[in-house]
């Protein structure tokens, strides 16, 4: 895993940010571009609705990444139910798997998209596991 192009980083991202509806396209930053430039892989969350089994599988995936030294963040979008993160269901699933809840960042479509992209990129660039955890996993 040492050659992982994601840079040991994963982002939980709602469907709305990956496949924005036409009304939001101009209001949102290029999410995949920002994540790729920041060295993050993507775990896409489903659109709003009842997705118990899928969220359990996603929680398993997050647990695997977290337990193998990946820094995981959650990026939501203001205006979507639960910011698109399914947090009321996902958070307990992660806790049950012994995973610390990832930091959350909420993208605001009511702010300039370029500015939001820069703000997100700055957060992503500055976030990683503590150095002792990095040394534990990323040898």
- Report how far residue 105's alpha carbon sits from residue 71's, in angstroms, rounded to the nearest whole number: 14
CA count, 13 A, side-chain hemisphere, 59: 22
Give the pLDDT score at 128: 80
DSSP letter at 74 equals E
Res 2 pLDDT > 70:
no
Res 134 pLDDT > 80:
no
DSSP letter at 79 equals T
Confidence grade of residue 65 (pLDDT, cut at 50, 70, 90): very high
Model pTM score: 0.88
Query: Distances from the Cα of 39 to the Cαs of 33, 56, 66, 72, 116, in angstroms?
Result: 10, 25, 16, 12, 18
Confidence grade of residue 1 (pLDDT, cut at 50, 70, 90): very low
**22-44 confidence digits (pLDDT tens):** 888 888 999 999 999 999 999 99
Q: Looking at residues 61-73, what average pLDDT do you find?
A: 92
Dig out the tokens for 7 from the structure: 């840079």
9-130 CATH: 3.40.50
Chain-wide mean pLDDT for the chain?
89
């Amino acid at each position: 895993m040492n050659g992982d192009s994601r840079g040991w980083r994963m982002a939980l991202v709602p469907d709305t940010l990956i496949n924005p509806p036409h009304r939001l396209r101009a209001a949102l930053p290029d999410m995949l571009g920002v994540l790729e430039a920041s060295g993050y892989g993507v775990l896409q969350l489903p659109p709003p609705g009842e997705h118990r089994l899928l969220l359990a599988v996603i929680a398993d995936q997050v647990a695997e990444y977290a337990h193998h030294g990946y820094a995981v963040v959650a990026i939501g979008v203001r205006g979507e139910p639960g910011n698109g993160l399914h947090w009321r269901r996902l958070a307990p699933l992660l806790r049950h798997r012994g995973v610390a809840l990832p930091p959350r960042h909420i993208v605001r479509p009511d702010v300039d998209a370029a500015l939001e992209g820069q703000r997100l990129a700055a957060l992503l660039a500055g976030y990683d596991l503590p150095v002792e955890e990095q040394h534990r996993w990323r040898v």
